[in-house]
A and B are shown apart, each in its own frame.
Chain A
């Protein structure tokens, strides 16, 4: 009798543990299948002209230069706009506000924005800016991306500043350093690696974003650096090319997808390494 119960418990244990090994395998296999498809299809279209030619008309030779430069422009502007706001807000939460009601609400709003559907952010910036500015623009696109950057930077900045030991702050105060100077010269410096990790993660996150750019940056078949006009972006080009019926556009889009994924994964691995080295 006892033996029967014992056998049953072992069976249940064995079954569920095998199932969780299987779950891990499923995850690994999914990752492998996606990366495999991406590499196999993407490598075929990789060539130096990808970086030197603009988007082609169907059935002719071309590259992704307009999209790559557009993405670089949008990402740079989004980081430039989003990072200072994010770092300042994170500093407020960790240094000044800590237990205040303001900080409570800001934290709450921030954590929701962190996972908010990015298409809503695109819609928001569209309604706010595009009709007023009489058209799509790189500025609108980068603002939409900046709204995605901010919560990521706020969260990591706050967490990293909270890890800085209070004795450092007290030491700064004891030699008479004003609060603002002690934050800039002591706590920021102590948390620098972590804050940079946050910025890299934010960059990785926006590099693959398509939805917020659909009605803001819109896309542009030519290379453009005019921040008041529409610009291309890699994810937009991929979306548009795959929605077309042309095989050569599909091939270019696979190459674009490979480039983006490689960039995003490199960035996030790099960010993790930076984080790992610190701890």
Chain B
């Protein structure tokens, strides 16, 4: 009797220690996963705080005027970010104008027109385009595209538009090959696969019943896309486009090679060399001496962060909303 009672209690204590050990290891594991998740928030906040700290000298010295002035003079230590902001916005705008229709076109091709056997290879090709490192786009732009563009396209465009009111100032000489437009063009090729693949995924969530009903009433393929699929997937397409815009705004290497890195005088001319925030950082930060110059560049980075994070956050919200809606409908 006594023996049994003894072994019984030792079994319970063994069990208790095992349970304690498990619950401790459970807690440790949970702690690690939770800390790792919080580390992401810390990185996010860290970037913001660090950049504000690094830019502080410039923020206090130039104030709000930093955003609107165009001087960029390391010698007199007078800095204004407007040319870089302008270049960033305009090159991204050119990229979006070129890539958005193309990307949606590719998505329509892949979801509606493409023969089944070709779908996978073309899908993979589009993803390869997305996988090419951005520096390769940059050197291709500088050594292959820009020289060709300069001789065979820019010169003709300048000649054609000479004398036409708005166009002659948008596309004016001399043809450099590199400049805002070339940067926009390279960016367009870079973001094209993002737009195409997000749009394709979003198009595929359109319920087949809706499409079939439309086909049943005699709609053409285009009418089904334009009147049924696009309205249904609107917020997803816009979200995908904004995701691509976020990438275009911050893209560095592809742009640095072909933008021309000119800080001064903004003109309407899209063929003129310009600069972007990211190109300014990449080209000048390593050589920036003193207190004010590096701080001014970091403040440019802070502006870029504000721009891209706003666009990306909006993109996330739209895509989330879309997923919830599409998920809810198809379920």
Contacts and interface: CB of A to CB of B under 8 A. Distances in A.
Interface of A: 9-10, 12-13, 16-17, 19-24, 26-28, 30-31, 33-34, 37-38, 41, 84-89, 91-93, 95-97, 102-103, 105-106, 108-113, 115-121, 123-124, 126-128, 147, 150-151, 154, 178-181, 183-184, 204, 207-211, 214-215, 218, 235, 238-239, 242, 253-254, 257, 260-261, 264-265, 268-269, 272
Given A88-B32, A89-B36, A127-B50, A31 B105 contact: no
Given A27-B129, A112-B316, A117-B308, A253 B139 contact: yes
Contacts of A208: 132-136
Contacts of A254: 139
B223 A150 contact: no
A12 B257 contact: no
B252 A211 contact: yes
A178 B41 contact: no
Contact of B40 (A110, A120, A253, A272): A110
Nearest to A182: B26
A20 B46 contact: no
B215 interface: no
Contacts of A181: 22, 25
Q: Per DSSP, are chain B's interface residues mostly helix, strand or loop, or mixed?
A: helix
A115 B247 contact: yes
Interface string B117-135: 0000010111111011111
A10 B220 contact: yes
Interface residues of B, number: 89
B298 A27 contact: no
Nearest to A117: B250
B46 A124 contact: yes
B189 interface: yes
B104 to A, nearest CB: 8
Contact of B44 (A112, A127, A264): A112
Contact of B286 (A33, A214, A264): A214
25 contacts: A13-B223, A19-B105, A20-B106, A20-B113, A23-B106, A27-B102, A27-B196, A34-B137, A34-B140, A88-B33, A110-B40, A117-B278, A119-B252, A119-B281, A124-B47, A127-B50, A147-B43, A180-B25, A180-B26, A242-B139, A254-B139, A257-B135, A260-B133, A264-B133, A268-B131
B131 A265 contact: yes
B221 A33 contact: no
B198 to A, nearest CB: 11
A245 to B, nearest CB: 13
Given A24-B110, A27-B129, A253-B139, A89 B308 contact: no
A89 B113 contact: no
Interface of B: 22-23, 25-26, 28-30, 32-41, 43-44, 46-47, 50-51, 53-54, 101-106, 108-110, 112-114, 122, 124-129, 131-137, 139-140, 142-144, 189, 192-193, 196, 220-223, 225-226, 243, 246-247, 249-253, 257, 278, 281-282, 285-286, 298, 301, 304-305, 308-309, 312-313, 316
A218 to B, nearest CB: 8
Contacts of B30: 96, 179-180
Contacts of A150: 39-40, 43
A116 B308 contact: yes
Contacts of B34: 92, 96-97, 102
A234 B166 CA distance: 44
A134 to B, nearest CB: 16
A70 to B, nearest CB: 15
Contacts of A204: 131
Given A106-B37, A116-B250, A124-B51, A272 B127 contact: yes
A179 B46 contact: no
A27 to B, nearest CB: 6
A178 B26 CA distance: 7
Contacts of A207: 133
Given A34-B129, A265-B128, 14 more contacts: A12-B222, A20-B106, A20-B108, A24-B106, A34-B137, A115-B246, A119-B301, A127-B298, A150-B39, A150-B43, A180-B30, A207-B133, A208-B135, A264-B132
B58 to A, nearest CB: 13
A89 B34 CA distance: 7
B131 A119 contact: no
B106 A113 contact: no
Contacts of B139: 238, 242, 253-254, 257
B52 to A, nearest CB: 10
A112 B226 CA distance: 30
Contacts of B278: 117, 119, 211
Contacts of A22: 105
